[in-house]
Structure 1
Amino acid sequence: MDIHEYQAKDLLKRFGVNVPRGGIAYSPEQAVYRARELSGEKCVVKAQIHSGARGKAGGVRICSSDDEISEAASWMLGRKLVTHQTGPQGKMVGRLYIEEATDIAQEIYLAFVMDRTEERVVVVASAQGGMEIEEISENEPESIIRSVVDPAVGMQNFQAREIAFQLGLDPSLINQATKTIVGAYRAMDELDASMVEINPLVVTGGGEIVALDAKLSFDNNALFRRPEISELRDKSQEDPRETYAEDRGLNYIGLDGEIGCIVNGAGLAMATLDMIKMAGGEPANFLDVGGGASPERVLMSFKAVLNDPNVEAILVNIFAGINRCDWIAEGVVRAVQELELTMPLVVRLSGTNVDEGRALINESGLNIITADTLAEAADKVVAAWKDARSKNGGAV
C-alpha cells in the first residue's frame, strides 16, 4: 500500500526526520489560505497522487502570489496527471499539499528497501539526488552507496555516520544526517514499511537537512496490526479492479490482456498466464481464488474479472486439493446464469470430486467449453476468443 507525500512526511517527522512546513488543501481557496498560514515569500503547490515524476507532468509549481497559487490549484484539482509511472490512464488529483519553499544548496537521494538476495534492509544513497534512482544508476553509477542493515541490531549511529561521510557532507552536517538516516530506518522498521524513499533529501542554504519529498510503501500483509496506517489508504489512487478484489479477500493483479483467469494457487496461476501467452493470447489478470473456495467465492471471482472492461474471454483452471471441483462447478454455473455471461468461457477441472464437477457443468446445458489439461484449456480459450472477435468485427 502506498500513501501520499504529506502523509509520509507526517510519519517521518514523528521519527525525527526534518520536513518543511505545509498543509493539505482540497480547493483553490483553501490552498491560498494554507499558503498565508506559512507566511513565506514563496510556496510550492504539489499535487498529491501515488506517483513520482509529478513535476514533469505539471504537478509541482513554485508560486509567489495568491493569484499564482489559486491558478495552480485550479489547474491541478480534478485533473488526471499522466507520468511514466501512472501509465497513459493517469491518476486523478483530489488534494494538494501547500508547502513552504526551501532554499536548496545540495540534493541527496536516500532510500531503504528490502533486498531479497541479501534478505536484509539495504540503504541506497547517492550524492546525486533529485533524480529517479534509475537515472542515477545510468548516469552516475559510481555515486550509488549501498549499506546492508543487520536485522539483529538495526541501523546503528556509526553505520549512519559512515553513509553520511560517503555522501561527502560537510562535517557540521554529519550529526543531522545521522539522525535523519536512523529516523528513516526506524520508521520503516516500526511501521512495517516495505520501502522508504526520500528524494530529494536536501541541504538548505541555512545548513539544515530536510526531506523535501518522501514516499513510503507498506506491506499489505501487516496492515492488520497497523490500523493507523490502514486509515491512510486512498482507494481513488488504486486500480479499481484490484481494490474490488482485495476488499473481498481475493488475490488479484490486473494485467493488460483480454483473457480473464480464475485459478487456484499462485504457482498454477502463473503457469496459466504463461500457457495463454504461448497459445497466442494475452492474460487480463492474475487471480488466485485460494483454498476451500465456495460457490459464492467463485461468483465473486467472476465479478472481479468482469470489472475489467477489456476482458473478452475467461479461463477457469482448477486443480482441487483443499478445493472441491463440484463447488467450483456450482459457482461457475451460478456465475454464468446470474451474470448472463455470453463471452467464451473455458473450464478445466482436475482433482477432488472432478467427476461430480464435470457432471454439473455438462448437465447445466450452458455454453461452457471444457478441457482436460492446461495446455488444451489455453488453446481452446485463445481459439474461442479469436473466433468471437472475428464474428463481432474485432470486439467481443
Structure 2
Amino acid sequence: MDIHEYQAKELLANFGVATPRGAVAYSPDQAVYCATELGGWHWAVKAQVHSGGRGKAGGVKLCKTYNEVRAAANEMLGKHLVTNQTGPEGKVVQRIYVEVAEPFEREIYLGFVLDRKVERVRIIASRFGGMEIEEIAKEHPEEILQVVVEPAVGLQAFEAREIAFGLGLNLKQVSRAVATMLGCYRAFRDLDATMVEINPLVVTKDDRVLALDAKMSFDDNALFRRSSVADMRDHSQEDPREVQAAEHNLNYVGLDGDIGCIVNGAGLAMATMDMIKYAGGSPANFLDVGGGASPERVAAAFRLVLSDRNVKAILVNVFAGINRCDWVAEGVVQACRSLDVNVPLVVRLAGTNYEAGRDIIEKSGLPIISADTLANAAQAAVTAASGAGKQARAS
C-alpha cells in the first residue's frame, strides 16, 4: 500500500525526521489559506498522487505570491497528472500539498528498501539527489552507497555516520543526517514498511537536513495491526479492479494482455501465465482465488476479469486439493448464467472431485471449452482469444 507525500512526512516527523512546514488543501481557496497560515515568501504547490516524476510532469509549482498559489492549485486539482510512472491514463489529483519553499545548497538521495533476496533492510544513498535511483545507477554507479542492516541489532549510529561522511557532509550536517537515517529506519521497522524514500534530502545553508520529498509503501499483510496507516489508504489512486478484488479477498494484479486468468494458488497462477506466454499469448491479469474458491467467489472473480475490456478469452485453471472441482464448476456455471460472458471460456479442472466438476460443465449446455492439461488449456485460450480478436476487428 502506498500513501501520499504529506502523509509520509507526517509519519516520518513522528520519528524525528525534519521536514519543511506544509499543509494539505483540497481547493484553490484552501491552498491560499494554507500559504497565509504557513507564512514566508515562497511556497511549493505539489500535486498529491501515488507516483514519482511529478516535477517533470508539471505536478510541482514554485510560487511567490498568493495569486500564483491559487493559479497552481486551480491548474492541478481535478486534472489527470501523467508521469513516467502512471502510464498514459495518468492519475487524478484530488488534493495538493502547500509547503514553505526554503533555499538549499545540496540534494541527496536516501532510500530504505526490503531486500527479499538477503532478507534484510538495505539502505541506498547517493550524493546525486533529485534523480531517480535508476538514473543514478546508470549514470553514476560509483556514487551509490549501500548498507545492509542486521535485523538483530537494527541500524547503528556508526553505520549511519559512515553513510553521512560518504556523502561528503560536514560535522554539523552529519549529526542531523544520522538522526534522519535512524528515524527513517525506525519508521520502516515499526510501521511494517517495505520502502521509505527521501528524494531529495536537502542540506540548507544553515546546515539543516530536510526531507523535501518522501514516499512510503507498506506491507498489505500487516495493515491489520497498523490501523493508523491503513486509514491513510487512498483508493482513488489504485487500480479499481484491485480495489474490487480486495473486497472479495481475491489476489489480483492487472496486466496488459488479453487472456483473463482465474486460478487457485499463486504458484499455479504464475505457471498458468507462463504457459500462456509459451503458447504465444499474453495474460491480462494475475488472479488467485485462493483455497476456499466457493461458487460466490468464483462468480466475483468472473465479474472482475470481465471488467477489463481488453480480455478476449478467459482461462480457468484449478488444481483442487483443499478446494473441490465441483464447487468451482458450479461457480463457473453460475457466473456464465448470471453474467454476460461474451468471450470464449476455457476450463481445466484437476484434483478433488474432478469427475463431478467435468460432469457439471458438460451438462450445463454452455459453450465452455474443456481441457485436460494446462498446456492444452493455454493453447486453447490463445487460439480462442485470437479468433475473438479477428471477429472484433471484422465487426
Band of TM-score, shorter chain = over 0.9
Structure 1 residue 312: deviation in Å?
Answer: 1.7
Q: Aligned letter for 2:379? A: D
Distance 2:14 2:36 in 1: 25
Question: Mapping of 1:114-125 within 5 angstroms?
Answer: 114-125=114-125
CA offsets 1:16-52 (integer angstroms, 9 cap, x no match) = 0000000000011111110111111110000000000
Distance 2:80 2:121 in 1: 34
User: What is the aligned partner in structure 2 of residue 69 from structure 1?
Assistant: 69
Structure 1 residue 299: deviation in Å?
Answer: 0.7
Q: Aligned letter for 2:270? A: M
Question: Mapping of 1:1-396 within 5 angstroms?
Answer: 1-393=1-393
Distance 2:342 2:157 in 1: 63
Distance 2:390 2:118 in 1: 50
Distance 1:362 1:259 in 2: 22
Give the TM-score normalised by the residue count of structure 1: 0.98
Residues 295 and 332 of structure 2 are in contact (CA less than 8 Å); yes or no, is this contact kept in structure 1? yes
Residues 262 and 317 of structure 2 are in contact (CA less than 8 Å); yes or no, is this contact kept in structure 1? yes
Rate the CA distance shift 1:175–1:394 in 2: closer, same or farther, 3 A: farther
Residues 197 and 214 of structure 2 are in contact (CA less than 8 Å); yes or no, is this contact kept in structure 1? yes
Distance 1:73 1:27 in 2: 7
Structure 1 residue 255: deviation in Å?
Answer: 0.3
CA offsets 1:267-325 (integer angstroms, 9 cap, x no match) = 11111111111222211000011112111111111111112121121000011111100
Distance 1:138 1:364 in 2: 57
Structure 1 residue 387: deviation in Å?
Answer: 1.6
Distance 2:172 2:21 in 1: 23
Structure 1 residue 394: deviation in Å?
Answer: 5.3
Q: Aligned letter for 1:55? A: G
Q: Aligned letter for 1:216? A: M
Structure 1 segments of 4+ aligned residues over 6 angstroms from their partners? none
Structure 1 residue 9: deviation in Å?
Answer: 0.2
Give the TM-score normalised by the residue count of structure 2: 0.98
Matched residue of 1:56: which SS? coil
Matched residue of 1:377: which SS? helix
Rate the CA distance shift 1:345–1:166 in 2: closer, same or farther, 3 A: same
35-44 or 385-394, which deviates more: 385-394
Distance 2:194 2:391 in 1: 48
Residues 306 and 341 of structure 2 are in contact (CA less than 8 Å); yes or no, is this contact kept in structure 1? no
Distance 2:310 2:140 in 1: 41
Distance 1:384 1:161 in 2: 60
Mind listing any 5+ residue stretches in structure 1 that lack a counterpart? none
CA offsets 1:134-178 (integer angstroms, 9 cap, x no match) = 111111111110011110011111111111111110112121111
Distance 2:133 2:213 in 1: 14
Structure 1 residue 257: deviation in Å?
Answer: 0.9
CA offsets 1:38-75 (integer angstroms, 9 cap, x no match) = 11111000000000000000000000111111111111
Structure 1 residue 389: deviation in Å?
Answer: 2.3
Matched residue of 1:46: which SS? strand
CA offsets 1:92-138 (integer angstroms, 9 cap, x no match) = 00000000001111111111111122211011001111110011111
Rate the CA distance shift 1:394–1:113 in 2: closer, same or farther, 3 A: farther
Structure 1 residue 238: deviation in Å?
Answer: 0.4
Distance 1:273 1:12 in 2: 39
Distance 1:20 1:292 in 2: 49
Distance 1:232 1:61 in 2: 25
Residues matched between the structures, number: 395
Q: Aligned letter for 2:113? A: V
RMSD: 1.0
Distance 1:358 1:32 in 2: 65
Matched residue of 1:393: which SS? helix
Distance 2:141 2:264 in 1: 42
